[in-house]
Structure formats: structure tokens, C-alpha cells
């Protein structure tokens, strides 16, 4: 096969890689992207999008079940609800197909050449791709490593028929009667809640003494209450041991040494993800590492000239929007623009029930950084829109410097609060002060009014509480 030469080669077409390639193509950079699976990477095919589709379907189903049980204050009735999970999965697959075809189309429109196959470095400027029709050698002035991450497997619970990763859980065609979930982080709680709503008896086993360790307990309390209301058993401070000898149950040990036998039809292991740092010829290069991740600087440059890295392979937080922002920046740098990482905050959203959003510093983080702070918190129970949505659980909390009122962090928990993350991020990115948020007219009736009220509260004169 004839060698390809290009200015920019991107390895991996997940959110980091495909955004980098699209932007580079838009800027007229001669760009090639290599992907061994499907465009869109983890996020579009087996991550963000499919999980949110299943979470939404589970929500709708749970609401219908509640109506059928007469638990609907609005007087809506339903009869004998049922779910055909195979059909739900087909609907979800339809969304991922549309999106991945869309990504391929956008790459094409930007003039990017797509090569399908596994890429492997031969040296810092040369990559060989195993394609279906043979080896394709690509020589590039610049290479971006965007190989993403993969689920962590526990040695005593190898993935298989019964023990599944998020990928397996997102392709089940029947609702497991009993589901054990190992790990109460992002995926364990998002999918654990969804399967509980779909009808599974869910037990969650978490090694630490709290759920969602990334967020403070005030934010996670409403989620803990919802788990309890759905009958989900949460075993905190508990370590998994493996499968029982007949393979029917998950064995675990609590902090006090009590043996637990959790009968399960499926076991979902969600104990984190690991960067994909093998399988693409790292051994041919001399790349510095930062723990298990590739080390990068504020321009996403690795320790080798002309080699960049973006996305999950470069560190926490392993989030799609961080990967995309890095990819866009690197494309501009390669095209000759002066850019470096200048983001004030990366929003984190957990699509639990209710949803949690955190942007910037939490009160504890601000105090630990030596800041004197003001905190304003406004509950959705005092927000008219939340009442009309039957979504009164939760609050918005703003953290600001006590001296000049510069907003350091904004957090919240509540149904649908993920959509407020944009306002929260914008406020921090624009360097807003409490007065800016309080002085902005927020449309009525919307949940966003809780944001303005939280700023007013911090200023000492909330209006609706």
C-alpha cells in the first residue's frame, strides 16, 4: 500500500481525537485519523450517549410504573406497564449509529482522511496501521495520541457472561432479576439506578465508606435517599472476594468482617477506567509518564517533540468534554495558533437521580486552599418551577470569596440540573461575582432562578426564602 504523508495524524476517533481532527481539517491542516473500532470512541458507542439513553428510558418506565401503582399526584393513570429491553437497546443503538455516522460525515466534510485499523508507532514520525486490506504506513509531522481508556477488570471477577463491564450492561436484552454492582462511582450509580428502575433488585458494593466519593455528602444525600426509596441495597466499606463456587453469588466482606453472599444474575463491575497506554507501540517511543497516564504540558505536548496526547489517556478527570477541549486546542496549536490550557474549570455532571453538578471549588476545597468564603444555598423546594415538575429535591449552592465575591465554585443536585451546568461553567469562566449572577434576570418560572437566589442568599438577601 502506498505510504501516506500528512501534517497531522490522530490516533483514536473518540471525543478527543475526532474533535481534534475536525478542527484541524477546518483550519486547512492536512489531517489523517486512525480508528480501530467506530468513530465516536467510548463516549458515543459504549459510554456517555448509550448510558444516558438507557437512564432516560428507565426514568420513563419508572414513572409509568409509579402511575400504574396509583402513586401519581397529578392524577395520571396507567395500566400494566412493561418494558421490552431488547427494543429499548435497539432504540439506543439507533441513536449511537446516527451519531457515529454523523462524526464520520463531519470528518469527511472537514477534509480529514479516515483510516480504519489498529495504529502502531514505528518511531516518533511513523505509524503502521493494520487495515483489512494490509498494512498502511503513515508518516506525519505531528501525531496526537487519543487512545482513550478501558474498564478496570478485577482479578477475582474477570469479565465474561455473568460478570460484565458497562459495555456489557449497556447491551443486555433482558432486565436481570438480581443485579450486583461493584463500585458506587459514576457508572455504578448511573446504571445501578437505571436498572433498579427497570425492575432489577440491585445491590451495590462499595469499598469506601461513602457513595460517589468525588462529591461532598451534602450533594450525594438526595441520591442516597433515592437509592433507598428504590430498594437498592448499598453495602459501604465492603470488599468483594469473588464468585461463590457454584457461580451464583458475589462474595464480599464488610468492614466489620461480616461475610456477605449476594445472589446475582449479573454482576456489573465499575471500579474505574484505565488509560489505554499499551497496544499502540509506546515501547518504540520515549514518553514520560504521569503515574499510569501519559505526561502532558499545558499545550498537551508529550515529552517527545511533535507528539501530543489528549483525552482519557492523559489523566483525570476522564470526561468527554475535557477530551474535546484538549483536542480542539491541539488542532489550533498544530495549525500555528498560540494556545494553551487556560480553562478555569471543568464541569462534572453525574446523571444519577437526582443529577449532580459540580463546577469549580466545593466549600471544603476552597477552605483547604486557604480561602475565606461565603456560601449561598437555595433549595428547589422553594422554586416554583421545581414544584410544577414534582422535582423539589435538591438545591443550588454557590461558593464565593468573602472579600470580593468572586465565584469560586457552583454545585447543585436536582432533577434535570445537568442543563444548568452551562450557566454554572459560564459564570466561573467569565470570572463572575455574586452580584453578576444576582443581577442577571433569570426567566420565570425556571429552575435556574435557584441559581440567582443562591447568589442572593450568599449576599444576605435571598428573596424567596
The three-state secondary structure class of 220 is: helix
Stretch that binds ligand NAD, among 62-70, 346-354, 357-365, 441-449 (CB under 6 A): 346-354
Residues in the interface with ligand FAD (CB under 6 A) total 36
The verdict on 33 binding ligand NAD (CB under 6 A) reads no
Instruction: Report CA-CA distances (Å) from 233 to 169, 189, 228, 262.
Output: 19, 12, 7, 10
Out of 23, 38, 226, 273, which residue is the one contacting ligand NAD (CB under 6 A)?
273
Q: How far is the CB of 27 from ligand FAD (least distance, A)?
A: 19
Closest C-alpha among 395, 401, 402 to residue 428: 401
The answer to whether the CB of 389 falls within 8 A of the CB of 417 is: no
The verdict on 168 binding ligand FAD (CB under 6 A) reads no
Exposure b/e, 271-286, CB count within 10 A at least 16 = b: bebbbbbeebbbeebe
The verdict on 43 binding ligand FAD (CB under 6 A) reads yes
Q: Own/partner pairs for 156-161, CB < 8 Å, 24+ apart?
A: 156/240, 156/241, 156/242, 156/243, 157/182, 157/240, 157/242, 157/243, 157/250, 157/267, 157/269, 159/269
| Residue 279: contacted member of ligand NAD, ligand FAD, none (CB under 5 to 8 Å, by partner type) | ligand FAD
| Residue 148: contacted member of ligand NAD, ligand FAD, none (CB under 5 to 8 Å, by partner type) | ligand FAD
Q: Point out which residues pair with 307 in neighbouring strands.
A: 143
Residues 47-66 that bind ligand FAD (CB under 6 A): 47-48, 51
Instruction: Report CA-CA distances (Å) from 85 to 177, 179, 356.
Output: 13, 15, 27
Closest C-alpha among 434, 428, 393, 384 to residue 413: 393
Which residue number, 226 or 273, has a Cβ lying nearer to ligand NAD? 273
Q: What is d(CA 1, CA 368) in angstroms, rounded to the nearest whole number?
A: 58
Binding mask 194-233 for ligand NAD (x = CB under 6 A): -----------xxxx----x--------------------
The verdict on 324 binding ligand NAD (CB under 6 A) reads no
The answer to whether the CB of 450 falls within 8 A of the CB of 396 is: yes
Stretch that binds ligand FAD, among 94-102, 320-328, 393-401, 438-446 (CB under 6 A): 320-328
The verdict on 356 binding ligand FAD (CB under 6 A) reads no
Q: What is d(CA 186, CA 188) in angstroms, rounded to the nearest whole number?
A: 6
Which residue number, 51 or 383, has a Cβ lying nearer to ligand NAD? 51
Binding mask 119-158 for ligand NAD (x = CB under 6 A): -----------------------------------x----
The verdict on 279 binding ligand FAD (CB under 6 A) reads yes
The verdict on 184 binding ligand NAD (CB under 6 A) reads yes
The answer to whether the CB of 21 falls within 8 A of the CB of 34 is: no
> Which residue numbers are catalytic?
444
Contacts with ligand FAD by CB under 6 A lie at 11-17, 34-37, 41-43, 47-48, 51, 118-119, 146-149, 166, 187, 276, 279-280, 311-312, 318-321, 323, 351
Amino acid at each position: 500500500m502506498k505510504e501516506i504523508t500528512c501534517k497531522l495524524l490522530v490516533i483514536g476517533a473518540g471525543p478527543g481525537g475526532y474533535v481534534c481532527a475536525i478542527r484541524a481539517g477546518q483550519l486547512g491542516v492536512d489531517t489523517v485519523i486512525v480508528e480501530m473500532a467506530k468513530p465516536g470512541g467510548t463516549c458515543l458507542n459504549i459510554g456517555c450517549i448509550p448510558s444516558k439513553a438507557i437512564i432516560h428510558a428507565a426514568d420513563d418506565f419508572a414513572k409509568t410504573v409509579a402511575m400504574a401503582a396509583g402513586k401519581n399526584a397529578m392524577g395520571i393513570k396507567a395500566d400494566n406497564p412493561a418494558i421490552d429491553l431488547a427494543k429499548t437497546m435497539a432504540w439506543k443503538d439507533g441513536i449511537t449509529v446516527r451519531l457515529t455516522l454523523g462524526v464520520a460525515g463531519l470528518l469527511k466534510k472537514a477534509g480529514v482522511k479516515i483510516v480504519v485499523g489498529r495504529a502502531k508507532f514505528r518511531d516518533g514520525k511513523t505509524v503502521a496501521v493494520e487495515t483489512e486490506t494490509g498494512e498502511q504506513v503513515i508518516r506525519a509531522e505531528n501525531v496526537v495520541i487519543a487512545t482513550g481508556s478501558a474498564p478496570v477488570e478485577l482479578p477475582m471477577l474477570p469479565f465474561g457472561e455473568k460478570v460484565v463491564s458497562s459495555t456489557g450492561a449497556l447491551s443486555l436484552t433482558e432486565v436481570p432479576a438480581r443485579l450486583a454492582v461493584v463500585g458506587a462511582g459514576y457508572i455504578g450509580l448511573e446504571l445501578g439506578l437505571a436498572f433498579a428502575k427497570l425492575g432489577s433488585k440491585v445491590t451495590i458494593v462499595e469499598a469506601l465508606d461513602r457513595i460517589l466519593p468525588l462529591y461532598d455528602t451534602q450533594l450525594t444525600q438526595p441520591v442516597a435517599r433515592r437509592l433507598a426509596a428504590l430498594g437498592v441495597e448499598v453495602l459501604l466499606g465492603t470488599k468483594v472476594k469473588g464468585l461463590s463456587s457454584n457461580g451464583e453469588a458475589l462474595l464480599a466482606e464488610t468492614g466489620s468482617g461480616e461475610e456477605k453472599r449476594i445472589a446475582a444474575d449479573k454482576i456489573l463491575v465499575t471500579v474505574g477506567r484505565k488509560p489505554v497506554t499499551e497496544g499502540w507501540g509506546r515501547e518504540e517511543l520515549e514518553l514520560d509518564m504521569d503515574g499510569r497516564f501519559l505526561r502532558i504540558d499545558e499545550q498537551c505536548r508529550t515529552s517527545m517533540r511533535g507528539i501530543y496526547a489528549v483525552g482519557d489517556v492523559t489523566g483525570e478527570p476522564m470526561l468527554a468534554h475535557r477530551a474535546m477541549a484538549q483536542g480542539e486546542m491541539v488542532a489550533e496549536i498544530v495549525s500555528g495558533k498560540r494556545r494553551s490550557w487556560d480553562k478555569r474549570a471543568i464541569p462534572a455532571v453525574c446523571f444519577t437521580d437526582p443529577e449532580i453538578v459540580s463546577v469549580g471549588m466545593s466549600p471544603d476545597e476552597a477552605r483547604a486552599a486557604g480561602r475565606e468564603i461565603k456560601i449561598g444555598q437555595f433549595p428547589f423546594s422553594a422554586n416554583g418551577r421545581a414544584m410544577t415538575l414534582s422535582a423539589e429535591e435538591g438545591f443550588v449552592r454557590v461558593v464565593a470569596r468573602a472579600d470580593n465575591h468572586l465565584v469560586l465554585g457552583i454545585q447543585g443536585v436536582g432533577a434535570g440540573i445537568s442543563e444548568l451546568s452551562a450557566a454554572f461553567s459560564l459564570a466561573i469562566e467569565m470570572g463572575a461575582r455574586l452580584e453578576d449572577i444576582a443581577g442577571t434576570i433569570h426567566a420565570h418560572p425556571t429552575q435556574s432562578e435557584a441559581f440567582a437566589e443562591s447568589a442572593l442568599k450568599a449576599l444576605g438577601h435571598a428573596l424567596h426564602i
